[in-house]
Amino acid sequence: MELRVNTMRVKNNRNFINSLFIACFFLILLVPILLINRGKNQVSEIDNRKLVEFPALKIGTGFRKGFESYLSDRIGFRVEMLDVYQRINADIFKKLVHPSYMFGEDGYVFFKGGYISDYQHLNINEAYIEKCASYIDSIYRYLEKRKIKFLYFFIPDKKTVYKEYFPKTIHVKGSQSQAQILLEKLERKGVPFVFPLEQFLEAKKNLQIYNKQYDAGHWNDHGALIGHSLILQRLREYFPEIDPVEKRNFTISTTTKTSLPVSHFRISEDVPVYKIKKSEMRQIADFENFIKKRRVLVYRNLQKPDKPKIMIFHDSYFLKLNEYYGSNFSEIIAIHSFDNLKNIEEFVNFFEPDVVLLENVERVISPQSMLFSLKNMQHTVLSDFSLLNLPVSEKTPKVRFVGKHNEIVVSRNESVCAIAGNALDPDGKAGKALFAKVGTSIFPMQYSNDVEKERGNFAISLRREILDNAEEISFSLISSDGKTKFKAVAFPIVKK
């Protein structure tokens, strides 16, 4: 009898354990689903991208696939599970499992994806590279006509500087990269550029100028100092008074990074930190209405107002650029280039720089990048200043302003003056282009000549200080056939 009771107890205990195991199993399956991330417009820190939204309800396989992606992206404990998975692969299998990164030789970390095909020379498209070269050349020639200096700074990727640490299992096709082809084309066109590969290869013998693991996509502060020094050295050809930037201008320390950027992948690496000892620049917000949606920062050196002004179109390599250029320029206009370079004419009109520096890293020479996408290049407006040399017609165009009469009113309380109106030829037709002259400066207008409902509309934003020193503004309309320039029409500038 006692044996039977013990047997039943063992059986009951076993049933309880089995039931508990099953309950735990279902909880493990159910809890992540219950804790799914249902928020809208969520961004993953570990993937550096937006999470998939809930798919539209519709019949077919589209909803099923969309829901699978949604569940995969938003399931509860996703980040924690990926962290554990990454750590197991790194510690046991010596693999870096991440959508953006991979291990190279000796523990070096590199980007992957399109970065690999660029290293292998598999993405070379001669016709596309020619378009990129012609695009950069057209910007250079345009600025030259406006008497503005230009320099193109092309930064080599980490894979180019430390190619001996790229995975040896990845092979290269051919001897030329698309970066080399682009530089050859720019040289033939006469575009002024700096490609600091030779100097970087020499410098890396004594310094780690791209971190071994942390921030695989950028140089570190050692590399930044070398790069900016080379730019200033080249700019001295335009402005001999430029002083070099040197290590002694900075306080140099290190900081320990414990994870890769946009990742929870654990590392431990000391990276250099440069901090300028004396900053002469201060950020200004005078033109907030103009710059607030354009990813533009403006720095001004109040101690050196007579120094030249530099406009820099840059990517994420050019952080802390005010520390490198502050002592040599009266004003720095720092513009994030990806969606702004196509509007270069608008920025040049507004800021009137003495020199424009265009910077980008090697890997963005791609139709998939925003900066050199075919769409961006096609939509970049660079007005033809040679039109101003056309024969002058005695006929007077019809120019009027929006909400104003025959004058431009400048408010002393506003730092930006927006001018808008309509300009048509004597027959009521839109012209080819419209230019405005204020003092000795000439500004191409944003002018519509191909949309019926906006036919002849023009607009421009100018700094108040440009108009403060002038008595009038005159407009020159180019005929629609591009053969003549109509008689200039002038309007007084009224300060209030």
Amino acid (1-letter code) at residue 399 = V
DSSP 53: P
The label of the residue with tokens 């980040």 reads 79
136 pLDDT more than 80: yes
Tell me, what's the pLDDT at 82?
63
pTM of the full structure:
0.84
Q: Cβ(69)–Cβ(52) under 8 Å?
A: yes
Cα dihedral: 452, 456, 457, 461 (round 10): 140
279 pLDDT more than 80: yes
486 pLDDT more than 70: yes
Tell me, what's the pLDDT at 325?
95
Q: Indicate the burial class of 474 (C-beta count within 10 angstroms; 0-12, 13-18, 19 or more).
A: middle
The pLDDT confidence band at residue 443, using thresholds 50, 70 and 90, is very high
Joined together, the tokens standing for residue 250 give: 């900075």
Q: Cβ(397)–Cβ(486) under 8 Å?
A: yes
Residue bearing the bigger pLDDT, 3 or 129: 129
46 pLDDT more than 60: no
Mean pLDDT of 294-319: 92
**CA atoms of 240 and 353, how far apart (whole Å):** 17
**CA atoms of 206 and 71, how far apart (whole Å):** 49
Tell me, what's the pLDDT at 476?
97
**CA atoms of 18 and 24, how far apart (whole Å):** 10
Q: Cβ(259)–Cβ(266) under 8 Å?
A: yes
Joined together, the tokens standing for residue 375 give: 């769409």
Assigned CATH topology for domain 385-495: Immunoglobulin-like (2.60.40)
132 pLDDT more than 80: yes
148 pLDDT more than 60: yes
β-strand partners of 50? 43
Domain residue limits, the chain:
14-101, 123-378, 385-495
**CA atoms of 21 and 27, how far apart (whole Å):** 10
Residues with Cβ within 8 Å of 427's Cβ and at least 6 positions away in sequence, in order, are none
| pLDDT over 90, % of the chain | 64
51 pLDDT more than 70: no
First CA to last CA across the chain, in angstroms? 110
Residues with Cβ within 8 Å of 160's Cβ and at least 6 positions away in sequence, in order, are 177, 179, 197, 362
The label of the residue with tokens 């050859």 reads 184
Amino acid (1-letter code) at residue 170 = I
Comparing 17-26, 243-252, 379-388, which segment has the lowest mean pLDDT? 17-26
Residue bearing the bigger pLDDT, 356 or 27: 356
| pLDDT over 70, % of the chain | 81
Comparing 131-135, 232-236, 365-369, 482-486, which segment has the lowest mean pLDDT? 365-369
What does 246-265 look like in DSSP terms, one character per residue? Answer: -GGGEEEEEEEEEE-TTS--
Mean predicted lDDT score pLDDT of the chain: 87
Joined together, the tokens standing for residue 172 give: 């290269």
The pLDDT confidence band at residue 93, using thresholds 50, 70 and 90, is low
183 pLDDT more than 90: yes
Cα dihedral: 207, 211, 213, 215 (round 10): 180
Comparing 64-78, 301-315, 333-347, which segment has the lowest mean pLDDT? 64-78
Joined together, the tokens standing for residue 225 give: 């100092």
Residue bearing the bigger pLDDT, 100 or 205: 205
| Phi, psi values for residue 481, rounded to 5° | -85, 0
260-276 residue pLDDT tens: 887 778 899 999 999 99
429 pLDDT more than 80: yes
Q: Which has the closest alpha carbon to 314: 289, 290, 340, 294?
A: 340
Helix (H) or strand (E) holding 447: strand 446-447
Mean pLDDT of 435-463: 89
Tell me, what's the pLDDT at 100?
83
11-30 residue pLDDT tens: 666 776 777 777 777 666 66
Joined together, the tokens standing for residue 351 give: 């800021």
Tell me, what's the pLDDT at 312?
98
